A and B are shown apart, each in its own frame.
Chain A
Amino acid sequence: MTDDLAIDVSGLRKRYGDLWAVDGVDLQVSRGECFALLGPNGAGKTTTTEILEGYRRRDSGEVRVLGTDPAYANPLWKSRIGIVLQSDRDLGDLTVEESVRHFAGYYPQPRKPDEVIEWVGLAEKRSAKNATLSGGQRRRLDVALGIIGRPELLFLDEPTTGFDPEARRGFWDLIKALKAEGTTIMLTTHYLEEAEHLAERVAVISAGRVLACGDPDTLGGRQRGTARVSWLEAGEVRVVDTPHPTEVVLEASARLGGDVPELSVTRPTLEQVYLQLVGPEAAE
C-alpha cells in the first residue's frame, strides 16, 4: 500500500453465478507506468478493470487505486481518474466541442477543451454531431472525454479497436505524450503489438488468473527460452530450435569454416509467447 503504487490489487475474486470470472488476481502498477492487461475474450480483463474503476463490486480481495478502495469512491477520487470505456453510443445529438466542454466542467482542473480536441485529432470535426462520427473518430472523442479532467490514472479499454494503422500510430503518440506528463495508464487490449509498443509491463490473464506478468521483452522467459537458428548449409536451409543458440552458431561456423551463410537467430514474438500461455483455442 505504498504511495508510489497507482494500483495495488491482491487476491481479487469476482463470481457470476457459478463462474469465477476473476479468480485470485494480484497486480501492482507503479505511478507513471503504462501497464497492459492482455487476454482472450472472457478472460476477466473487463471485470477486473471495472472493479478498479469502481463500476463493479468484488467478492473478495484487497484493492487500492490511488490509495482508495474504489468500492467507496467519492467525487474527489473520480476527479483523479479518467475512464475510456468500450463502444459508447451516447451524446449523439451533441457536437464534439459541446461534449468536451460540458465534461470539462465536471473537473476541478480540466485541460483546455480546444487543446484536447486538437490533440486527439478532431479539430476539423469540432462542430460535427457526435452521431455522424466514424468509428475511429468516435473512439478519439471517448479518449478526449477520458483525459479532459487531467487524470493521474487513465483506464483505456480496447482503445484502438477499429482504427486503421495510421490512426493507431497517432493514438500511440498521444498515449506516449500523456505518459511523458506522468499519467499512469492501465491499458486493456488484444493487440499484442500495441501492448509491446506502449507498455512497460504486461500481464497475461486467462480464465480469471494472471498467467504471466512482466516486461513484454522478457515475458514468459522470452529472452531465455527457445530461439530459432536458421542458415544455409550444403544447398539447403537448416532450422534448429534450441535453448543454446550461441553453441549452434559456433558449431556451424566451425563446420563451415567461419562464415555461416544466411544466418538468422530469432526469439519468439510476444504473440508466440502469448499463444503458448493462453493456449490457441482460448486466443480465438
Chain B
Amino acid sequence: MSATQRTPLAPPGTWALGMRRVSIELKQFFRDRQSAVFNFLLPVLLLVIFGSVFGSQSLGARSDITFAQYFVAGMIASGIVYTSFQNLAISIPLEREDGTLKRLQGTPMPKLAYFVGKVGLVFVAYVAQVTLLMLVGRLFYGLHLPDTAAQWFTFAWVSVLGLVCCTLLGIAFSAVPREGKGASAIVSPVVLVLQFTSGVFFVFSQLPHWMQVFASLFPLKWLTQAMRSVFLPDSAQALEVAGTWELGRCALVLGAWCVAGLVLAVVFFRWTRRGEA
C-alpha cells in the first residue's frame, strides 16, 4: 500500500510512552559516566570518606550518637537532591543543546511523556542509591535502620515529597544554564552551598545563626532534619535547634516548594535553545 493512502491511527498514549522514556532514561543515566559518578555514586563515596575520617567521633555531649550516623542521614537527604535536582538541572540543558529535545518535539511523543520519563528515572535512581547508602551505612558506620512502621512511613513520605519538590525545581532550574557544557559549573556550587549550610557536612545546630536562617529557606535543611528523625534515636532531638524534629513544618516547607517548583517549571522550562522559536 502506498504511504499516502493509509488512514492515520492514533499514536501511543502518554503513559505508554512515558514508561518507554523511563527505560531509555535509565540506560542513558547509568551509561553516562559523568552522571553515574556525580549523581549516583558521589554520596556513597562521600559517606565512605567522611565516615572513615570522622565516623567514630561522638556528637558533642551525646556519646551514643556518632558523626557517621548523623552524616548518613544528611547524605540520604543529599541523595534526593543529587538524583533529582542536580541530575535534571545538568542533563536537561545538555539535552537541549545536543538535539535530544528538538528530536523529541518532532515525534508524536506527548510532551508530558518526557517528564514522566524524568520522574521515573529520578525515583528508580534514588531508590537504588538510598538502598546502597543504607547498606554501606549499616555495614560499616553503625547506622540504625528504622525499626518502627512510623519511621518507615516518615522515610517514605519525606522521600516522595522531597523527590517531587526537587524534580520540579530541577526542571525549572534547567532554564538557567545558557549552555549545556557549563551547566554543572552552575548547578554543583548551588548544591554544595546548600549542603554546607543545611547540616550535611556540619552539625546544623553548631552553625552560625545567620547560616541556619539562610538554609531554612530551602528544602535541603528540612530534608536532612526529617531524615535524622528516621535514622537517629528520638533522644537526638535535643541536638536540633528547635529541640524537636518539626516534621509538620518539614512537610509544610517541602509542600510549599513543590507548589513553587511547579509554577517555576511551567513558566521557565524551555524546549528550544535561546533564539529559537
Contact = CB atoms under 8 A, between A and B. Distances in A.
Interface in B1-47: 2-6, 8-12, 17, 20, 24, 27-28, 31-32
B90 to A, nearest CB: 15
Contacts of A88: 98-99, 102-103
A105 interface: yes
Interface string B158-178: 000000000000000000000
Given A85-B106, A105-B17, A57 B4 contact: no
Contacts of A152: 3-4
B106 A83 contact: yes
Interface string A90-103: 11111000100011
Contacts of A75: 10-11, 108-110
A82 to B, nearest CB: 8
A102 B107 CA distance: 12
A145 B12 contact: no
B11 A108 contact: yes
A283 B8 CA distance: 41
28 contacts: A55-B272, A56-B276, A78-B11, A78-B106, A78-B107, A80-B8, A81-B106, A85-B103, A88-B98, A88-B103, A90-B103, A92-B98, A93-B31, A94-B31, A98-B27, A102-B24, A105-B20, A106-B20, A107-B11, A107-B12, A107-B107, A108-B12, A108-B108, A150-B3, A151-B3, A182-B5, A183-B3, A183-B4
B27 A85 contact: no
A106 B108 contact: yes
Contacts of B2: 32, 181-182
Chain B contact patch, size range: 20 to 34
Contacts of B5: 182
A276 to B, nearest CB: 33
A105 B104 CA distance: 12
Nearest to A181: B3
Interface of A: 31-32, 53-57, 75-76, 78-81, 83, 85, 87-94, 98, 102-103, 105-109, 145, 149-152, 181-184
B19 to A, nearest CB: 10
B105 interface: yes
A89 B108 contact: no
Contacts of A181: 2-3
A57 B20 contact: no
Task: Please provide the 8 A-B residue pairs with the shortest distance between their CB atoms, ordered closest to farther.
Answer: A182-B2, A88-B99, A108-B9, A75-B108, A79-B108, A93-B31, A90-B100, A83-B106
